[in-house]
Amino acid sequence: MLCLLMRLSGSQHSKKPVARRQRSTIFPNSGQEKLLTHEEYEKKEKCGLFGIWGTKAASQLCFNGLFAQQHRGQESAGIVVSDGTQLHGHVGMGLVSQVFTPRMLREDLAGHAAIGHVRYSTTGSSKLANAQPLMREYLMGPVAVAHNGNLINAKLLRRQYEEHGHIFQSTTDTEIIVHLLAKPTHLDKADPLPHVLMHLQGAYCLLFLFPDRMEAARDPWGIRPLVLGRTAEGHWCVASETCAFDVIDAQYVRDIEPAEIVRIDDSGVTSRFFDTPAPKLAYCCFEHVYFANPASRVFGQNVHVVREALGRALAREAPVEADFVMPMPDSGRSAALGFAKESQIPFEEGIVPNRFVGRTFILPNQLQRDRAVALKLNIIPDIIAGKRIVLVEDSVVRGTTTRSKMRAIRRAGAKEIHLRISCPPIRHPCFYGIDFPTREELIAHNRTVDEIRDYLEVDGLAYLSLQGMLSCLQFPEQQYCTACWSGQYKLPVDQPLAKFSFEKDQMRMF
């Protein structure tokens, strides 16, 4: 596609139609919203984005795209649509299927274009005000924005705007983007959006919806995935993962490039770059290790194929005698299959997951996570009793949930448990959109592998080496971010942004 700069549509002095009020719901049976304390928080998922242009079924297709990416966030969901003159949307706490109804999609969210978001919080509490897409009104009219990632300079930018009298309606880092967009000196630019994005530092994939267009952008380091697709009917769509295209019969076209803005409107698709892509990109390896759907294509590779290769590499690095290899459902399955093939130890399913519980790490406190583990995983004693097991897991972060799993397997009669992890020990926090705990809360921080093994109460423990992991990826190792394992941050973090940085005063009230 031609790379060109395009002026934002419409006169900068004309008044755009006012956005309808954004409706909201509370997660069923949740009671009131609650600000979570730091102690209640652990590793969570990233967010998922989806957008589509040019079809009367936009809201329904957006719903389907979000549903396919539910694994990327289970705290809240939202959809904003354009009917050509106005934006109107709905956000709510909970799963996609709980937030939206068929009537709502058909009547309240009628439009020819839509963007949607499933969220877990990396900056700001799990509460309705932080649910996305954020919809705001500014001089140029209504705009909605959905964000996957984390802005490491949001605290500094927000303080500057607050000192000049700006009022923020949420405690998420995403809202600063709208304030930047509305700044008069930015609006004077021929093309404001590239200028706005140049002010952002950190990880971001963004979807913007205006009445007359949709814009998708990706940070210069390419930390998070963002892909462009097209339906069989010719409608252009954007998603965090290609699995969202599968459910709407769309074809993957290409990745949106680092530092690229893709504009989609009634004229089609155009592209421009707001910056030069980083010479050394920072693709997040954890997308392949854990986050992404095995069916997705991420950073040019199928996730299942990569995970199976991780398992093979792990079997070569850490062989063990056992009766069978067993995956920890569900994200450990592909790596376990690779381990079994490489080691020629039989593959066996000894844990049956309950598909209706969801991902346990995304629940807001440890008690809920422990209960969810018991609900989610059903151990089969007839398979496990008296056996030496190689249990393959994708990662261990804090370790408390993993230890409860190991105890359940031991109670089922396992003779030996040899835990194999298909990535290196996580010793460092992430500032680019993964809500890992602080260093002190990470189980691998200042602990040897033997000490971790004793804590987890297993007979053997081994991690895949950093080089072993990188050897399974197609690009040169300098193109990947390994900060959570190596401590080498490609984007300097001078002022780390804590999850609750924007709401400390509010937390004191609870």
If the chain, 510 residues long, is cut into consecutive pieces of 10 residues, what is the mean pLDDT of each piece?
36 35 33 32 65 98 98 94 97 96 97 94 63 94 96 90 86 91 92 96 96 98 97 98 98 98 98 96 96 96 98 98 95 96 97 69 54 77 97 94 92 97 95 77 94 97 98 97 94 55 38
Query: What stretches of 106-222 show up as alpha helix (H) in DSSP?
Result: 154-163, 175-182, 184-187, 192-197
Structure confidence at residue 204 (pLDDT): 96
Q: What is the pLDDT of residue 420?
A: 98
**What are the distances in angstroms from CA 247 to CA 66, 242, 295, 501?**
10, 10, 11, 38
CB 420 within 8 A of CB 391: yes
Question: What CA dihedral angle connects 144, 148, 149 and 153, to 10 degrees?
Answer: 0
Nearest to 240 by CA among 194, 206, 278: 206
Distance separating alpha carbons of residues 53 and 238, to the nearest angstrom: 9
Q: Give buried/exposed letters for 383-404 (b at 16+ CB in 10 A, else e).
A: bbeebbbbbbbbbbbbbbbbbb
User: What are the residue ranges of helices labelled H in 51-174?
Assistant: 58-68, 96-99, 102-103, 154-163
Helix (H, G, I), strand (E, B) or coil at 437: coil
- pLDDT recorded at residue 356: 67
Catalytic positions, please?
A: 47
What is the separation, in whole angstroms, between the first and last Cα of the chain?
52
SS3 482: coil
Going from the C-alpha of 69 to that of each of 10, 245, 362, the distances in angstroms are 34, 10, 14
pLDDT on residue 499: 40
Helical residues (DSSP H) of 76-153, grouped into ranges: 96-99, 102-103
Cis, peptide link before residue 330, omega less than 30° from 0: yes
Beta-bridge partners for 23: 90
SS (H, E, C) 295-337: CCEECCEEHHHHHHHHHHHHHHHCCCCCCEEEECCCCCHHHHH
Residue 391 to residue 386: CA distance in whole angstroms: 15
Q: Which pTM value belongs to this model? A: 0.84
Q: Which domains does the chain have, with CATH numbers?
A: 23-28+36-282 (3.60.20.10), 302-486 (3.40.50.2020)
Report pLDDT for 173.
87
pLDDT at 367: 61
SS3 content of the chain, % helix, strand, coil (to 5): 30, 25, 45
When computed from its CA atoms, the radius of gyration of the chain, rounded to whole angstroms, is 23
Residue 118 confidence (pLDDT) = 97
